[in-house]
Each structure stands twice: as structure tokens, then as C-alpha cells.
Amino acid sequence: MKQFALLCLLGGCFSVSWAQDTIYVKGNQWCQKEKATGYAIVNHEPPLYKVDTYNLKGILKETTYYLRYTKETNRRMKEGVSKTFYDNGNVEEEITYTANRPQSLKTFYPDGKICREDTFNKEGKMKTSYIYDQDGNKTRNKEPYECMATFPGGNEALRKAVSSVLYYPKEAKEKNITGRVIIQFIIDKEGNMTQPKVLNKPNPILEKAALKSFERMAQKYTWHPGIQKGKKVNVRFVMPFSYNNP
């Protein structure tokens, strides 16, 4: 048994294995009590883990079932019904999962009336979606419920776009100054590239050149904005600009 536990730890298998326990969380991340915005009560109901998440006032905010519930969020696997709640106790969102893929989705207004209803294929891609007004009238919808901001044409098109705007100053070439500049920026709700910020400490010449390249790209391209809970949102991105003198 000790050997098995050690193997799990070495393999990053930090899944909850007790019958019930309390985990402090910040958003959906496990954290120390002092940094918590809420806490999760975990019950093991084989083969599933039932996780009830509360805010610090003790109000239930989410109930989700998992086949695997780990510290690493990207290793968690949802299975069955997941619900989030308004502070008044009414259901805000209800999603049914199979092996982490959504099968159906319903969202509700605070008074309990249905707001949105989606179905998905086996791969978790949206098949049908309807939006309801407060009077119960529905209209067909094409916007996904959640998606990351994406560059038109995908990652390959993004790489080509970066290459097309890359500015390598003559002074840097002559002095054989090379390196990589990491720029953090925001894709806003309209898909614009905004608020560039250099994260590393590159050569000042390269830093200036990368920011100039970023501005060229921001003027030339518009992204597909990110969507969260059916609404367009700002999304933070990180992008490298590499300078190598052939």
C-alpha cells in the first residue's frame, strides 16, 4: 500500500481518496486557508467524487461530480451533472458531462426561468442552442457557451502573422544581439490586441523592437474573442517574439 501511494505521488496522481474532507479553494484552485475565497466538501461515492463548493459565507455555489478530482485542474474529469447556483439558491447553470465532454447544457435566470439550452455531439461540440427571453420565447443561437480567444486561421496562421510583422533592428543584427522577448497582452471583447507588457528582461533594443512588432500586429489583425458563460470576455495571452541572427 505504501509503495502504491508513493507511485501515485511520483506520477502526479494527487487525487482525493478519502471518504470526506474539506479543501480550501481560490476559484477552482486548491490553496491555503489564508488565501481562500471558498471551500469544497469532497465526498467519495464510488466510482465518483461529489464536490460541493461554498463561498466563505457558507453559501453553496457549485455541485459537481468527478471521475477524477485532483489538485491539477487539467487532470480533473467531470462525469454526470454539474450545477452552479445563485446566492438565492436557484440553479444558475446545469451541465451534464460524459468523460469531461459536455452532453447537454441549461442555464437559468435568477428567478428560475430557463435562459439557454444546448445539446452537444459525442466530441462535445455544440449541435443545437436556443436562447430564451423572460417570457419564454426562444430563438436559435450560434454562439458557443464557452471558448478561448483564437487567431483567425489557427496556430499556423498565427505563426505566419508573427513572422510577417517581426521587426529586427539593424543595430541588433550588427551587434549580433539575439534572444526572445515575452509579451503579455489582452484580447478584448472585440478581439483587439491591447495592453502589451514585457514579462522578461531582454536587451532594451530587442524589447523596443518586440513592442513595435506587437503594435504592427495589433493594427493588422483582429482575433475571435473569448466567450465565457455565453458572454464575450477579455482574455490574457502570452506571446514570444524571437530574434536569431542567421
The CATH number of the domain where 206 resides is what? 3.30.2420
Residue type, position 91, single letter: V
Split at pLDDT 50, 70, 90, the class of 19 is: low
Question: In this structure, is residue 118 part of a structural domain?
Answer: no
pLDDT at site 16? 47
Rounded CA gap, 17 and 14, in Å? 9
Give the range among 82-86, 87-91, 170-174 with minimum mean pLDDT: 170-174
Question: In this structure, is residue 50 part of a structural domain?
Answer: yes
The answer to whether the predicted template modeling score (pTM) of the entire model surpasses 0.85 is no
Question: In this structure, is residue 238 part of a structural domain?
Answer: yes
Question: In this structure, is residue 147 part of a structural domain?
Answer: no
Q: Which domain-ending residue is among 70, 85, 100?
A: 85
Mean pLDDT of the chain: 90
Question: In this structure, is residue 2 part of a structural domain?
Answer: no
65 closest CA partner among 108, 100, 92, 27: 100
Question: In this structure, is residue 170 part of a structural domain?
Answer: yes
Q: Which has the higher per-residue pLDDT, 15 or 190?
A: 190
150 closest CA partner among 161, 142, 140: 161
Q: Which has the higher per-residue pLDDT, 174 or 61?
A: 61
Split at pLDDT 50, 70, 90, the class of 13 is: very low
Q: Domains in the chain: how many in total?
A: 2
Question: In this structure, is residue 113 part of a structural domain?
Answer: no
The answer to whether the beta carbons of residues 177 and 229 sit under 8 Å apart is no
Quote the domain boundaries for residue 176. 154-243
3-state secondary structure of 123: coil
Integer angstrom CA distances of residue 206 from 37, 66, 101, 151, 198: 40, 47, 43, 24, 11
> What sign has the CA pseudo-torsion 190, 194, 200, 203?
positive
Q: What is the pLDDT of residues 26-82, one digit of tens each?
A: 999 999 999 999 999 999 989 999 999 999 999 999 999 999 999 999 999 999 999
Q: Which domain-ending residue is among 85, 102, 133?
A: 85
Query: Number of C-alpha atoms within 13 angstroms, CB side, residue 25?
Result: 22
236 closest CA partner among 190, 181, 182, 195: 195
pLDDT at 128 over 70: yes
Q: Which domain-ending residue is among 85, 106, 129?
A: 85
Question: In this structure, is residue 145 part of a structural domain?
Answer: no
Rounded CA gap, 20 and 18, in Å? 6
pLDDT at site 246? 64
